[in-house]
Copies of this chain bind each other. A is one copy, B any other.
């Protein structure tokens, strides 16, 4: 396993931050899907560095080159492989990391796991850069979902203590199409200004800050997913926890539901336009691991970027002594805006997997 996931749509993400290239193979895609490359690039650009003063200065074209599985813009059903070259790498910034691991990075654990043979440059295979092929794969899956009327979109739910207006979980169509085309999408633009100001402040303090992303999927039919270990929550969380820096995943009312009474938390069934719905959606559109037909709601908590310019304490693994560490290189003071399309991608890919399991694609 490790960088391969999926029982029906098999995905392998490969590459190292400062290697030749990164990319993805997708085996099991349905044949006959017409792909719109401009829609793929919208997603790639949402994730790309350098969009905004809040993100790292590293700027790469990040144009995926499709090597297989697509003919005249239409999927052939054979495995799709796409590759993104690494062009803009400053390897010298990372020379020291095997000796003095960066706090809250994978330097230390990767070194043990791979007996020191892992490519440490830029975080290697652990780098956030590896989410670029994830976003690419998600962009393919979004287009597959659209053929079934399913839209995935999200917003920056919070940066630190600053919260955007949360999704109305029962809502009639939220503006997911619009949100899912924007960089740093929020529901309330005034809140976004506060978020941006907070990020600038943190940056000027040589620090970083965390946040939460909320993603919804509309248009999912009821009856997708299975009990126990192929439940919608379990499958989606497997994909989201594949994104670096995620420390929690919740659905519907999430952790808040633990404070509620049954009479508050239960989602009453109602009839609306001859359709079964629920008057609230604390379950996030999932009951018994299976979709209810209500919007699917998921949230992911991101830790602050562990790379900060402030001097930090670490240890020298050779001398086994404590030492100061100054991290050089370019880093996002807040990864959350760029992580938004990654979480949406993870949800989109997971939904394709879930729909394929039900023979719906």
Which A residues lie at the B interface, using CB under 8 A?
Answer: 1-5, 7, 10, 12-16, 19-23, 25, 27-28, 31-32, 65-69, 71, 74-81, 83, 101, 103-106, 108-110, 112-115, 117-119, 124-126, 130, 158, 160-161, 202, 205, 207-212, 222-231, 233-234, 237-239, 241-242, 244, 246-255, 257-271, 274, 276, 278-279, 282-284, 286-292, 301-308, 310, 312-315, 317, 320-322, 356-357, 359-361
Contact = CB atoms under 8 A, between A and B. Distances in A.
A256 to B, nearest CB: 8
Given A19-B67, A257-B301, 7 more contacts: A20-B67, A68-B125, A110-B227, A255-B255, A263-B310, A265-B304, A268-B312
Contacts of A260: 160, 209-210, 303-304
A137 to B, nearest CB: 12
A77 to B, nearest CB: 4
B258 A81 contact: no
Contacts of A130: 228
A34 to B, nearest CB: 10
A267 B209 CA distance: 14
A257 to B, nearest CB: 5
A211 B290 CA distance: 22
Given A227-B3, A317-B276, A251 B248 contact: yes
Nearest to A33: B117
Contacts of A254: 247-248, 301
Contacts of A252: 247
A214 to B, nearest CB: 11
18 contacts: A5-B229, A16-B71, A23-B68, A31-B118, A76-B119, A78-B118, A78-B125, A105-B287, A109-B291, A112-B290, A210-B259, A211-B258, A248-B250, A257-B302, A262-B308, A264-B304, A269-B322, A359-B359
As for how many copies of this chain the complex holds, the number is: 4
Contacts of A263: 207-208, 308, 310, 312
A237 B239 contact: no
Given A258-B212, A284-B247, A308-B262, A234 B238 contact: yes
A207 B308 contact: no
Contacts of A356: 359
B242 A238 contact: no
B312 A67 contact: no
A114 B313 contact: no
A12 B82 CA distance: 13
A275 to B, nearest CB: 9
B83 A67 contact: yes
Nearest to A80: B14
Contacts of A68: 14-16, 19-23, 125
